[in-house]
């Protein structure tokens, strides 16, 4: 039951070229910083990444864009990354933009074992091109497939040796659902305790979904956009 590995490099050791990975986080909040840095060190290439966004230049997923490790990016928002924009416009990077609710629900469907979902989002737009469409109670819906990922990389505030996870505040975004959805889920945490030390009522992700866990180090926790009020 002890799922602890020593560090990020050991945790991601079997992530190989051309795999599909999910990465938790929203903007720069709750992203698996240590795992991303380990992937950059390992130099795996041809990755398909499923994430809400593509990070920023020089941080988060932006680091893997800089080193040309991504083949495809599946996301709902990518507006803060100049290198992403350059690779998209030059044709170096394949991109699939998805409405945020659809992205989240396709992740949930994978975690629940559902093959598809039906959503009204995108009906009548370019999003619907080439997709099956059905009518339910007089309303049109698109059929979208659940995601299929080799690994899910998530970041939690606290976890135990059995893989039970607690997320803190806004970092409880895409992380819990992605932890459910990966064939292999790797969790990095700020605080790692022994099994039995977490209050069961506080656990957001049960350890059954987590395959490896490690204590993360040196988190930067950057603020993506800082807005302050002028001093009066």
Domain definitions of the chain by residue range: 8-117+146-215
Closest CA to 182 of 161, 202, 210, 155: 210
pLDDT computed for residue 229 by the predictor: 85
d(CA 7, CA 100): 32
- Asked if residues 85 and 53 have their Cβ atoms less than 8 Å apart, the reply is no
Q: What is the pLDDT of residue 224?
A: 73
Q: Could you tell me which of 156, 175, 155, 174 has the C-alpha nearest to residue 166?
A: 156
Q: What is the pLDDT of residue 139?
A: 97
pLDDT at residue 2 in the model: 85
pLDDT along the chain (232 residues), means of 10: 93 97 91 96 96 88 94 88 89 92 95 96 92 96 96 97 95 94 96 96 96 93 79 79
The CA distance from 116 to 84, in Å, is 29
Alpha-helical (H) ranges within 15-149 are 33-42, 61-66, 82-90, 100-112
DSSP-H helix ranges across the chain: 8-11, 33-42, 61-66, 82-90, 100-112, 175-181
pLDDT for res 115: 96
For 8-117+146-215, CATH number? 3.40.1080.10
């Amino acid at each position: 039951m002890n799922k602890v590995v020593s560090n990020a490099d050991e945790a991601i050791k079997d992530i190989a070229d051309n795999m599909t990975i999910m990465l938790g986080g929203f903007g720069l909040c709750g992203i698996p910083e240590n795992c991303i840095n380990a992937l950059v060190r390992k130099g795996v290439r041809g990755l398909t990444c499923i994430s809400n966004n593509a990070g920023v230049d020089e941080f988060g997923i932006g680091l893997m864009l800089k080193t040309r490790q991504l083949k495809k990016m599946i996301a709902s928002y990518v507006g803060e990354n100049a290198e992403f924009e350059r690779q998209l416009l030059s044709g170096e990077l394949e991109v699939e933009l998805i409405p945020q609710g659809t992205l989240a629900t396709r992740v949930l469907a994978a975690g629940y074992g559902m093959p598809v979902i039906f959503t009204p989002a995108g009906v009548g737009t370019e999003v619907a091109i080439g997709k099956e469409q059905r009518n339910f109670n007089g309303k049109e819906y698109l059929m979208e497939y659940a995601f299929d990922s080799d690994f899910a990389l998530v970041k939690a505030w606290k976890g135990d040796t059995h893989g039970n996870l607690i997320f803190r505040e806004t970092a409880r975004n895409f992380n819990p659902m992605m932890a459910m959805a990966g064939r292999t889920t790797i969790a990095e945490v700020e605080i790692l305790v022994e099994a039995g030390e977490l209050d069961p009522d506080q656990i957001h992700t049960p350890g059954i979904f987590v395959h490896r866990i490690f204590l993360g180090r040196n988190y930067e926790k950057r603020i993506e956009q800082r807005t302050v009020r002028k001093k009066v």
